[in-house]
Amino acid sequence: MHRNALVLFSGGQDSTTCLAHALSQYERVETLAFDYRQRHHVELEARLNVLQHIKTTFPQWAHKLGEDHLLDLAVLGQVSETSLTRDMVFKMEASGLPNTFVPGRNLLFLTLAAALAYRRDLDVIVTGVCETDFSGYPDCRDDTMKAMQIALSLGMDRRLLIETPLMWIDKAQTWQLAHDLGERAQTGGGDALVQLIVEQTHTCYLGDRTHRHDWGYGCGTCPACDLRAKGWVRWQG
Ligand code: ZN
């Protein structure tokens, strides 16, 4: 019986939905993010705002929300040159992967998350990876997650569950999932959680918080905004 979870929580739409999932499922939930010198610190700021708003909007979740962790992963900037950490234009590489791809990044994230979970006595790691997503990052695949679950459980000699609530759903369904989770928590909570995600979460690669759309803030044209916007339109449709 799993009771406690650690959520990989970046402050975006996906990880906020994962956080709501964990809060609806587990008794104690802690959150984790990595600072790898993202070009834009708005995501790290957004995540603190999301946590604060979740506590005030969903009192029955507030007492479950435990410690928030931020790990310094500046070393990632030394091993990779991508448009996420350097001032480069987002584009698709010849490999078919976008240049936001940091090889093995999620493997590193999960290993550190597992070490933290071990120390904090948390037995589930929740992450918003998704195979339905446009980018097709190989370290977000379901098989990669299952292999990591086995490797980490063996390597730490403790049974660890890696949970991926978004693995097989698209962005429209992610909006719906957030609505369902909010509604299940309290009457009217569906709209409240969607509104919270629209207002407080951050997805835009360019760190744009000046342009407000129906689906939230962002430049509106980068691949992350595009995905979020299209999902919103399909969900609203
Ligand atoms: Zn954008």
Domain containing 39 equals: 4-236
The rounded Å distance from CA 202 to ligand 1 centre is: 9
> How many Å lie between the centroid of ligand 1 and the Cα of residue 200?
15
Q: How confident is the model at residue 172 (pLDDT cuts 50, 70, 90)?
A: very high
Phi-psi region of 90 (alpha: psi -120 to 50; beta: other; left: phi over 0): beta
- Alpha-carbon span 52 to 120, nearest angstrom: 22
Mean per-residue pLDDT, 56-76: 94
Across the chain, what does the average pLDDT equal?
90
Q: What is the pLDDT of residue 36?
A: 78
- Cα(118)–Cα(44) distance, rounded to whole angstroms? 24
| Average pLDDT value for residue range 130-147 | 84
Integer Cα distance of 37 and 75 in angstroms: 9
Report the number of distinct structural domains present in the chain: 1
What spacing in Å lies between the alpha carbon of 58 and ligand 1's midpoint?
Answer: 29
What are the residues whose beta carbons fall under 8 Å from the beta carbon of 59, sequence distance 6 or more?
A: none
> Six-digit token pair at 15?
């990880």
- Radius of gyration, alpha carbons of the chain: 17
Residue 231: pLDDT above 60? yes
Q: Residue 40: what pLDDT?
A: 64
Measure CA of the first residue to CA of the last residue in the chain; give whole Å.
39
3-state secondary structure (DSSP) of residue 134: coil
Measured in Å, residue 22 CA sits from the centre of ligand 1 at 27
Residue 9 CB burial class (10 angstroms; 0-12, 13-18, ≥19): buried
d(Cα 153, Cα 50) in Å, to the nearest integer? 31
The model's confidence at residue 95, banded by pLDDT at 50, 70 and 90, is: low
CA-based torsion, 54, 58, 62, 64: positive or negative: negative
Are 34 and 112 in contact by the 8 Å Cβ rule? The answer is: yes
Residue 124 has a pLDDT of: 98
pLDDT band at 38 (very low <50, low <70, confident <90, very high): low
Name, in order, each residue with C-beta under 8 angstroms of 154's C-beta and a sequence gap of 6 or more. Answer: none
Say how many Å lie between the CA of residue 147 and the centre of ligand 1.
32
pLDDT beyond 80 at 78: no
Q: What number is the average pLDDT over the span 178-201?
A: 97
CATH number of the domain within which 35 lies: 3.40.50.620
Quick check: 36 and 74 in contact, CB under 8 A?
Answer: yes
What pLDDT does 57 receive? 98
* Secondary structure element (H or E) that encloses residue 216, with its range: strand 216-217
Q: Residues with beta carbon < 5 A to ion ligand 1? A: 204, 206, 218-219, 222, 225
What pLDDT does residue 64 have?
Answer: 97
- For residue 153, pLDDT over 60 is answered with yes
Query: Model-level pTM?
Result: 0.91
Question: Measured on CA atoms in the order 232, 33, 27, 54, is the torsion positive or negative?
Answer: negative
